[in-house]
């Protein structure tokens, strides 16, 4: 099959994913179905991919053979990030990292109040270890003891984010500053902001993704274009993506976005072109190899699934929508009257945004119902324009951030414009139309996800292999469609 030959990395990544689920969820039926599909698609490549699936199952069983024992004692805590924690009753700090004890390590979270221990090293923590989930733990510390000879980047990252937060609060209103801080750093300090975006299914805008990396890279490329030749510019963009990754921290969606950017830019440096699906598969394979537990993260699942839907389903959905909104060639568009040109450009933008939204939600709907048991209908409408407004607000903030160290006066107009746009956007999000503020509520069992996503995957492969049998074309007899074999 041509699709499997053109996208081998995608199949390797999916084999690693299913191998990990085979261990974590004992999903033998899913592994057997994937093996049969591989044999059907390409029996020559299937043995290697099945072997990779089994390897990742064994790899996970080796990594997680032993587990810490909850109780009172002490353990080494390696800090990965620290952020503010606000509740209606108190404020404090959330430390995220790994707890090392009894020859095993697991993700661990510590919530503390009062004086903040510096997050620049590992600590020997005395207190109570509490199991929060099968593979995640919390710690209730009584005493922190620095471990000599250890170092963590988390303190520098925290201070950099605090400087950005402080700068924004000086230049614009508080809510706009909180929104742009979340948009640029991925940390949502305002509980109201989190609630308002979550209610409308817009949480993904506040989480760092490839969308944010692309905007930062595009801005850096615009600055460097008149200054650097092509290859040095690519190296500078790779360094920019790395610095941004170090700033925002290592979470599953951030790691996927950084890996995609790094692989894409490295491919350009080596004069190698790769398809988006191959890049996605390579990111999937690398991220699972680095941290197999990430497959259980909701952020990981939503991030990879939404990207896969965009790359695999967007084109078929867009072609289907062209039945209602036919495409025109550039020559035909130029021949239209000015008002018709504006109307066509507007409907074309709407069609692209609608196809993207429908493709993503086709894939994410069962996953959202499984994890959150709710899908707001307004998310279909708001996702047509809120991401674009957010992107514009962030693009106006980036030159302000770059110019401020050189000339605060030159940076001020960009701060004002970015803050104004953020304020208007927040007003729209905070006051949705009451008559349309409804949602679909359902408790979807996990076993539904694999058949649904598998069917969408096969549909996407089918339309990659064989284009639609009709497409919109111009014709003299007035019929907008022409059937094709």
CB 113 within 8 A of CB 90: yes
Q: How far apart are CA 207 and CA 300, in angstroms?
A: 11
CB 421 within 8 A of CB 406: no
Three-point CA angle 77, 80, 85, nearest 5°: 95
| Cα separation, 124 vs 313, whole angstroms | 49
pLDDT in tens for each of the 485 residues of the chain? 688 888 899 999 999 999 999 999 888 999 999 999 999 887 888 999 999 999 999 999 998 888 888 889 899 999 999 988 877 667 889 999 999 887 788 999 999 888 889 999 999 999 999 998 888 899 999 999 999 999 999 999 999 999 999 999 999 988 999 999 999 998 887 888 888 998 888 888 888 777 788 888 888 988 888 888 888 999 999 999 999 999 998 888 899 989 999 999 998 888 888 788 999 999 999 999 999 999 999 989 999 999 999 999 988 888 888 777 777 777 777 777 878 777 877 788 788 888 888 999 999 999 999 999 999 999 988 988 898 899 999 999 999 999 999 999 999 999 999 999 999 999 999 999 888 788 888 888 888 899 999 999 999 888 887 654 434 444 344 443 333 33
Distance CA 203, CA 197 (A): 5
| Pick from 466, 463, 461: nearest CA to 10 | 461
Label the pairing between strands 137-146 and 104-112: parallel
Helix, strand, coil abundance in the chain, percent, nearest 5: 60, 15, 25
Does residue 29 contact residue 303 with C-beta atoms inside 8 Å?
Answer: no
φ and ψ of 468, to 5 deg = -55, 145
Domain layout of the chain by residue ranges: 2-63, 71-152, 203-296
Instruction: Give the CATH number of domain 71-152; options: 2.70.98, 2.60.120, 1.10.287, 2.40.50.
Output: 2.40.50
pTM: 0.88
Query: How many alpha carbons fall within 13 Å on the CB side of residue 302?
Result: 22
């Amino acid at each position: 099959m041509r699709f499997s030959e053109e996208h081998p990395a995608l199949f390797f990544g999916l084999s690693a994913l299913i191998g990990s689920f085979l261990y974590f969820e004992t999903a033998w039926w899913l592994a057997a179905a994937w093996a049969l599909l591989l044999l059907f698609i390409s029996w020559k490549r299937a043995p290697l991919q099945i072997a990779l699936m089994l390897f990742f199952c064994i790899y996970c069983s080796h990594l997680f053979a032993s587990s810490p024992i909850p109780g009172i004692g002490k353990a080494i805590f390696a800090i990965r990030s620290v952020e503010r924690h606000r509740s209606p009753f108190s404020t404090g700090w959330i430390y995220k990292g790994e707890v090392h004890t009894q020859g095993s390590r697991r993700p661990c979270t510590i919530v503390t109040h009062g004086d903040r221990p510096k997050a620049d090293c590992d600590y020997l923590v005395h207190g109570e270890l509490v199991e929060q989930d099968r593979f995640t733990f919390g710690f209730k510390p009584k005493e922190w003891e620095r471990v000599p000879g250890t170092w963590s980047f988390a303190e520098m990252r925290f201070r950099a984010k605090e400087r950005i937060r402080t700068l924004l609060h000086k230049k614009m209103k508080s809510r706009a500053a909180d929104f742009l801080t979340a948009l640029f750093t991925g940390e949502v300090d305002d509980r109201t902001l989190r609630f308002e975006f979550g209610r409308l299914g817009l949480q993904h805008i506040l989480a760092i993704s490839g969308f944010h990396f692309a905007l930062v890279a595009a801005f850096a490329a615009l600055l460097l274009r008149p200054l650097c030749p092509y290859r040095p510019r690519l190296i500078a963009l790779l360094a920019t993506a790395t610095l941004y990754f170090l700033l925002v921290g290592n979470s599953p969606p951030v790691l996927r976005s950084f890996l995609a950017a790094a692989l894409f830019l490295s491919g350009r440096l080596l004069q190698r072109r790769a398809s988006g699906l191959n890049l996605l598969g390579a990111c999937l394979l690398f991220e699972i190899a680095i941290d197999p537990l990430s497959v259980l993260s909701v952020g990981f699942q939503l991030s990879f699934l939404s990207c896969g839907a965009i790359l695999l389903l967007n084109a078929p959905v867009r072609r289907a929508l062209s039945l209602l909104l036919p495409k025109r060639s550039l020559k035909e568009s130029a021949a239209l009257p000015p008002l018709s040109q504006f109307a066509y450009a507007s409907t074309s933008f709407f069609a692209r945004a609608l196809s993207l939204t429908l493709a993503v939600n086709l894939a994410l709907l069962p996953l959202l119902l499984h994890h959150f048991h709710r899908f707001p209908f307004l998310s279909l409408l708001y996702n047509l324009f809120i991401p674009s407004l957010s992107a514009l607000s962030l693009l106006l903030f980036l030159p302000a951030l770059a110019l401020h160290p050189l000339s605060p006066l030159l940076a001020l107009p960009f701060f004002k414009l970015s803050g104004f746009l953020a304020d208007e956007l927040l007003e729209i999000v905070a006051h949705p139309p009451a008559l349309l503020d409804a949602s679909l509520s359902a408790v979807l069992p996990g076993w539904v996800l694999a058949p649904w996503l598998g069917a969408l995957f096969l549909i996407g492969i089918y339309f990659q292999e064989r284009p639609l049998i009709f497409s919109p074309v111009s014709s003299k007899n007035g019929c907008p469609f022409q059937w094709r074999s």
